[in-house]
Structure 1
Amino acid sequence: MTQQSTEPRTTAEDAGAGSRQPAGRSWLDRYFHISDRGSTVAQEVRGGITTFMAMCYILLLNPLILSTPDVEKHTLAHAGVVTATALAAAVSTLLMGFIGKVPLALAAGLNVSAALTAQVVPNMTWPQAMGMCVVYGVVICLLVVTGLREMIMNAIPLALKHAITMGIGMFVALLGLVKAGFVGKGEGGPVTLGLNGQLAGWPVLFFCVTLLLIFMLQARKVPGAILIGIVVGSVLSIAATRIGGLTAKDWGGTPPDLTGSAVAMPDFGLFGHVEFGGWGSIGALSVGMIVFTLVLAGFFDAMATIIGVGTEAKLADDKGRMPGLSKALFVDGAGGAIGGITGSSGQTVFIESASGVGEGARTGLSSVITGLFFAACLFFTPLTQLVPAQVASAALVVIGSMMMSAAGQVDWRDRSVSIPVFLTVALMPFTYSITAGVGAGVISYAAIKAAQGKWREVGGFMWVLTAVFTVYFSLHPIEQWLGVK
């Protein structure tokens, strides 16, 4: 691979290449380089469990996001999505542990799932949408293998990368507000507060309580704040249902209940339901834009997360190079295909991996532990039914607020930067389209730089993107002009 020549090699890796390993070390120590990275098996186990506890909320949120009907009005079975989410997280995280050998855990990316819900399934079936996940995963793997990753990363301005992260954060937050019933379609305007301008019903109250609790716990820097908030909100919801006599009508679905069994066999009904045809009805350009959107959603955040967590674990040098970087990026790309095949949406590295690093994790053994816990969750899918959608939606808003932290990295006084960033961030939630936000940011960035006489600063790749997005936005009038139906 192109990147391998730039990656530092640890003592253990040099030893594995031909030097003799010190006597008395276990195969586990030698394989994961535990001693060489200043860790212990106990630290790795503790870190792996901590990471799992910090990110297991994905088992609740991913089914919530993927509950949208596709173009044929078909929805995914809840139990099937939970099983697929746990399976894909287990497989991809185990691969990261055994191949990448770094303390990084993967699961269904909420930004990828959001892109599927908003832009993909309104135009195609769920099996076709999962096929798009496989395609984008293969594309990312090819980018890593060929070295094009660095070219793309360097071509897109840093401010737009931050804008994409913030825009997706706003989009995810909006999804949470809508699914909780806090925001709805308005009669006098496009949206309104709750129902006819009022927050009505107990479920919305539990959403508000859960949201505020998580924010307060985060302000106090309490580990696992999201998970704690969801558990407390669910307990309150169950108690209110029992004492107050809330019904399925009040909850807009099945009310939370403790009477059922917590254990059940996994539902692999979505596994392998992937289609790679039938995309012609939406046009080649639209398919290309969807793939590009999914790559954006799953690629740039993963790169920053891998480097950030690696630096926190003291595995990366001052230039962001770390052992196994190319392998980690490849596994992350493969996560897109794994998610598509299992039916859970593309997998990506979670920033919550940093919580395990904070507990001492330094090697891939912690990822193996996290992956095994996700595998165990395959048999506890009924527990997710205890969490009301309104309570789980609070976590989406919290994650959206966390993604907005990139705003501090933007120079808002520079109009050539602030205008494209604003358009990117604003249009993603307002148009319900990640592609629209990215396209507006790219076109406005190139146009403003050209107006300033700095068109050379844009770069060839960005000018190509500008032309592609211009055609994308102008596709309907172009088709009318050409007489294409």
Structure 2
Amino acid sequence: MPPGGGIATEIRAGATTFMVMAYIIFVNPIILGYVGVPGLEGKGLPFAATLTVTCLTAGVLSIAMGLASNYPLVLAPGMGLNAVVAFELVAGRGLTWPQAMTVVFLEGLVITLLVLTRFREAMMDAVPLGLKRAIGVGIGLFIAFIGFFTSGFVVKPATGPLPVGLGVVGGLPLAVFLIGFLLTAWLVARRVAGALLIGIVVTTVLAIVLNGALAGWKGFPTPGAAQIPSAVVQLPDFSTFGRLDFGLFAKLGALTACLAIFSIMLSDFFDTMGTIIAVGSEGGFLDTRGRLPRVGRVLLVDSLGAMFGGLANASSNTTYIESAAGVAEGARTGIAAVVVGILFLLSMWFAPLASVIPAQATAPALILVGFYMMALAREIAWADHEEAIPAFVTMLVMPFTWSITNGIGAGFVTYAVIKIASGKARELHWMLHLTAAAFVVYFALPLLERTAR
């Protein structure tokens, strides 16, 4: 992993992070707008307004994180959380969009109170070092899997019993990904400065050239990807900002509304914890006990991100694991986060340019960041099965369920059960008892909600 190298390195690393996560500018409006979803299309949030608030919240909060914490951690609307808002709260429960965003706002308020009382920080300190390392490895596997999936190399078969399969190697997008991956892997192996950024730029240019020259091949599915944009400037649309509606309690009932807030809050809470630990480990920011200095500032900005995301109708903003791409490029300070924030704010006006970068150009960077993060696995005490089995469960559940929170929860519950069953309950910090119990409730939420109806 490249060491930190001054302002030029921070700027380059910030540009890398932005390119790796620029997909959210368009994916968030697609999810919240039900684009292409049969029966729901036209019932979501307006695309242009959601794109604007996505860029606005990501930009403001990333700059705030860089200035407040001086870490290269960046925020944007969380993938997964936005799908919960769109398909569970609105489509599933019948909430209006302002009511659903009020759920997000309230869970952010609860987490902010937990930060101000230092509960959230104490919870992070209570996690055993072995589990912290496993969380970092699990997230590395997760983002590598995301890279393979978004590139089209790994697909969900349309038919058959297998959950995943190999993509169509003869297609143009996958061919571009394979070339980009081999190029980026070679640059990383040669320890070339800016390897990830170079790989993204060269692969994007290659995609544009081939997409225009080889009309017979199947093109890129994302609108605008690998195409020279017809327009460069797009005016921002702030029409959805500030729309909240506290009538959700009357709509759902107090118990069901509180369970919905608790579910999103728990996911938000532990997604961020996992990301901070993983990126902190990758960047060498953690102390000997696996704690992040100035973590209170990081957690405060992150919790305010949920509130701001709900207020803006952009969905909950959370600290992004793609921050690790910038760290892998040498980012060590908040300058990189400020660079990312500025680029997001500019994207409110220049969104067509950001749309040019295809997922196949950023996927190699995600996979190789996962490679960097796998190094933490050698620091896990594999000979101690009481530590190693929960670590193993944590690492695998994350990519297999497409959820950082599920992996952390499965690891915590496994760790607590093994310790208690072995007669070592007193070795568990009281917060781990509490957290394991909370995760049991979290995993049982579908049953509890059916009972409450």
TM-score bracket, shorter-length normalisation: 0.7 to 0.9
Deviations 1:310-340 (A, max 9, x none): 959xxx9999786x66445433432333344
Structure 1 match to 2:386: 416
Choose from 203, 208, 215 the match for 2:178: 208
Structure 2 match to 1:10: none
- The answer to whether structure 1 residue 138 and structure 2 residue 104 are counterparts is no
- The answer to whether structure 1 residue 290 and structure 2 residue 264 are counterparts is yes
Choose from 55, 64, 73 the match for 1:86: 55
Choose from 68, 88, 94 the match for 1:123: 88
Partner Cα separation in structure 2 for residue 182 and residue 293 of structure 1: 28
Structure 1 match to 2:15: 53
Structure 2 match to 1:26: none
Structure 1 match to 2:118: 147
- The answer to whether structure 1 residue 107 and structure 2 residue 67 are counterparts is no
Partner Cα separation in structure 2 for residue 408 and residue 115 of structure 1: 32
Which protein has the larger Cα radius of gyration, Structure 1 or Structure 2?
1
Letter of the structure 2 residue corresponding to residue 57 of structure 1: M
Partner Cα separation in structure 2 for residue 436 and residue 396 of structure 1: 21
Give 3-state SS (helix, strand or coil) of 1:466's partner. helix
Once the two structures are superposed, the pairs formed by residues 195-274 of structure 1 within 5 Å of their partners are: 195=167, 198-246=168-216, 250-254=219-223, 256-258=226-228, 260-268=230-238, 271-272=241-242
Once the two structures are superposed, the pairs formed by residues 317-466 of structure 1 within 5 Å of their partners are: 326-342=296-312, 343=314, 345-348=316-319, 350-351=323-324, 354=327, 371-466=341-436
Structure 1 match to 2:94: none
Partner Cα separation in structure 2 for residue 331 and residue 351 of structure 1: 18
Determine what percentage of the aligned residue pairs are the same residue: 32
Choose from 122, 143, 162 the match for 1:190: 162
Deviation at 1:373, TM superposition (A): 4.5
Deviations 1:171-200 (A, max 9, x none): 3333333333222223333324235xx534
Letter of the structure 1 residue corresponding to residue 424 of structure 2: K
Letter of the structure 2 residue corresponding to residue 390 of structure 1: Q
Give 3-state SS (helix, strand or coil) of 1:222's partner. coil
CA contact under 8 A between 1:115 and 1:434: conserved in structure 2?
Answer: no
- In structure 2, the CA distance between the partners of 1:345 and 1:62, relative to structure 1 (3 Å rule), is farther
Deviation at 1:275, TM superposition (A): 5.8
Deviations 1:262-313 (A, max 9, x none): 233234455445566648486644542321111111235336756986959x
CA contact under 8 A between 2:14 and 2:336: conserved in structure 1?
Answer: no
Query: Quick check: 226-235 or 60-69, which moved more?
Result: 60-69
CA contact under 8 A between 2:282 and 2:372: conserved in structure 1?
Answer: no
Partner Cα separation in structure 2 for residue 274 and residue 238 of structure 1: 41
Give 3-state SS (helix, strand or coil) of 1:411's partner. coil
CA contact under 8 A between 2:17 and 2:325: conserved in structure 1?
Answer: yes
Partner Cα separation in structure 2 for residue 400 and residue 77 of structure 1: 34
Deviation at 1:366, TM superposition (A): 7.3
Partner Cα separation in structure 1 for residue 292 and residue 440 of structure 2: 36
Letter of the structure 2 residue corresponding to residue 417 of structure 1: E
Partner Cα separation in structure 2 for residue 347 and residue 387 of structure 1: 23
- In structure 2, the CA distance between the partners of 1:64 and 1:165, relative to structure 1 (3 Å rule), is farther
Unmatched 5+ stretches in structure 1: 1-42
Structure 2 match to 1:160: 131
Choose from 429, 437, 440 the match for 1:467: 437
Query: Quick check: 348-357 or 264-273, which moved more?
Result: 348-357
Deviations 1:340-379 (A, max 9, x none): 4441641437356658976xx87x7776566444433332
Query: Quick check: 377-386 or 348-357, which moved more?
Result: 348-357
Unmatched 5+ stretches in structure 2: 1-5, 91-96
Letter of the structure 1 residue corresponding to residue 112 of structure 2: C
Give 3-state SS (helix, strand or coil) of 1:236's partner. helix
Name the Cα RMSD after superposition. Answer: 4.0
CA contact under 8 A between 1:133 and 1:340: conserved in structure 2?
Answer: yes
CA contact under 8 A between 1:103 and 1:357: conserved in structure 2?
Answer: no
Letter of the structure 2 residue corresponding to residue 55 of structure 1: T
- In structure 2, the CA distance between the partners of 1:357 and 1:169, relative to structure 1 (3 Å rule), is closer
Deviations 1:412-465 (A, max 9, x none): 222111211222222233234444333321221111112322111123222223
Once the two structures are superposed, the pairs formed by residues 26-41 of structure 1 within 5 Å of their partners are: none
Deviation at 1:91, TM superposition (A): 1.5
How many residue pairs were aligned? 427
CA contact under 8 A between 1:285 and 1:472: conserved in structure 2?
Answer: no
